[in-house]
Amino acid sequence: MDYAAALEKRFGLKNVSYKYNLSKEQLFEEAIANDRGRVRAGGPDDEQKAFPTKLGVKGPLVYYTDPTCTGRPVQDTFGVAWPEIDDKVWWKKDYQKFDPAKYEGLLKRVVEHLNQRGGSLYVKDVFCGWDASYAVPYRFVGEYATHAMFAHNMFPKDVKGVENAEEKRWTMLNVPSFRCDPDRDGTKSERAVIMDFKNQIGLVVGRADYCGVVKKTMFTVMNYLLPEAGEMSMHCSANVGKDGDCAILFGLSGTGKTTLSADPERKLIGDDEHAWTRAGVSNYEDGCYAKLIDLSKEAEPVIAAALSMPGTIIENVPALPGKRMEELDPQELDLTDGSITENTRFSYPLDCNPNVMDGAKGPHPETIVLLTADAFGVLPPVSLLEGKDVMYHFVSGFTAKLAGTEVGITEPQAAFSACFGAPFMSQKPPVYARLLAEKMDQHKARCILLNTGWSGGPYGTGKRISIKHTRALLDAALAGQLDEGKVEYEQHPVFNLKVPKSCPGVPSEILDPRSTWADKAAYDEQAGKLRDMFRKNFEEKGFAKLGIEPVM
């Protein structure tokens, strides 16, 4: 069945035409000519949303979202609560239940809206996942050429050997021009991002035109599907060393996940979304979606070079004052300009990085890294985790956000995100924790908790652990130099963590965080506070009832 007949059968789309699998060059021109919507607060709904730079089609496309959607609309993200999946899904404030009857009515109205409007929809067929054993065919169908181009950038195009492809296919229907009525449609606002696991549909309607929705919707889907097949779905980066040793790095924003995985001595599998299956580790994606705000071109040369490459997409970076975007070279853009949003973004193909694993795949990992950036200044720089410790720290997903810029706010803020990606985890946290523990045990993988945060005091008093020392700690762990029996360990009295007494290339005194504080009593008090935050989070999330053992 061809795509048009399939879309008519699935949705009832009849009075529309399609622009199917256009090249990136064609989508570039289509986006500039046809993508229209709101780009300014209070502005009209027919303004140009996509622009060329001075380089034209030989450079990036610059795209602007609706001003109310410069990031994922988490409060408007839902799953259809079909009875057959209701008990399995991890419902929470950023992934809420949607009534099945309301959903069916809404979907019907969206299709009627499209049939009445007529016009063209962009269709792009890609896959989510590089490994044919689990890869899901993903069909993007939407009103914006920019989104189709983003799908092309971010997902594999030609995965051979996927069996029963049509049965597995997910379809996203992305319709920014439709406005929801909360009273009628059961939404919380005029927009919604809804996942229908029974019918394999992603419905995106209203002012939800942030490009990341096209990516993270499918990540949430994969986080449901993979555990159903007994495989691990992960929000992590992954790379492979010269000896073929694979490592995966879990971590929230600001902990160093992307920076530490981009190691010139190791080949990148990917920086964000992966599966760990019977075959090893593989990337879901064929692209990267990097933050641009305050990007250092010296520290991130790959991203800096890709800014000028054809077929890439820059999101929500303003033109220079008094200049039109068409007059600017991409390298002239002010990447410190957060006037539209602090969440400026850049989508580029994985092959922009010259040091990537063939097929974005690697072997079973030998090392699992849980990254945290402790701004309280009390966690050890590195700790060895085993068994129940791994599960506890994995479901905790701790990092610390820095104190804000408001007067009087001096304390860091603890952030806990289960499995280091709670909003996207569609099954309950222990499902992923048990899979991780089982796979680690099966493949004899080691696990470390690597703290890239502060030492000698909290943020504002202490100093950030140097990247040189962090890399030395990571390199030692990857080489097995911190394994049990290779170095002496001591048990941390507050956090109950196994802390090495020595590490090659790292002064031994920084390994014990208490010794770096001038005021030992202040350290003890701060450590106790953080321990209590862990305990409170564990209790509030009900992890004990879900089978996770407390370790501190």
- Check: CB of residue 490 under 8 Å from CB of residue 383: no
Alpha-carbon Rg for the chain, nearest whole angstrom, is: 24
- Check: CB of residue 256 under 8 Å from CB of residue 271: no
Residues facing 98 on adjacent strands: 80
- Which position among 17, 23, 120, 253 bears the catalytic label? 253
Task: Give catalytic status of residue 216 as yes or no.
Answer: yes
- Which position among 35, 76, 272, 337 bears the catalytic label? 272
- Which position among 147, 215, 216, 541 bears the catalytic label? 216
- Which position among 38, 49, 72, 215 bears the catalytic label? 72
| DSSP code for 351 | G
Distance from the Cα of residue 367 to its chain's centroid: 21
Cα–Cα distances in Å, from 314 out to 63, 135, 295? 6, 27, 13
Residue 347 to residue 292: CA distance in whole angstroms = 10
Task: Give catalytic status of residue 545 as yes or no.
Answer: no
- Which position among 217, 220, 258, 516 bears the catalytic label? 258
Q: Which residues are CB-neighbours of 16 under 8 A, at least 6 positions away? A: 114, 115, 117, 118, 119, 120, 121
Q: Is 331 helix (H, G, I), strand (E, B) or coil?
A: helix
Cα–Cα distances in Å, from 498 out to 383, 441, 475, 512, 523? 5, 19, 18, 11, 18
Identity of the amino acid at 463: K
- Check: CB of residue 79 under 8 Å from CB of residue 194: yes
Task: Give catalytic status of residue 345 as yes or no.
Answer: yes
Task: Give catalytic status of residue 272 as yes or no.
Answer: yes
**Residue found under tokens 């030989």:** 58
Residue 285 to residue 266: CA distance in whole angstroms = 19
- Which position among 124, 191, 235, 364 bears the catalytic label? 235
- Which position among 38, 49, 152, 257 bears the catalytic label? 257
- Which position among 274, 345, 393, 469 bears the catalytic label? 345
Residue 15 to residue 142: CA distance in whole angstroms = 15
Query: Catalytic positions, please?
Result: 72, 216, 235, 253, 257-258, 272, 345
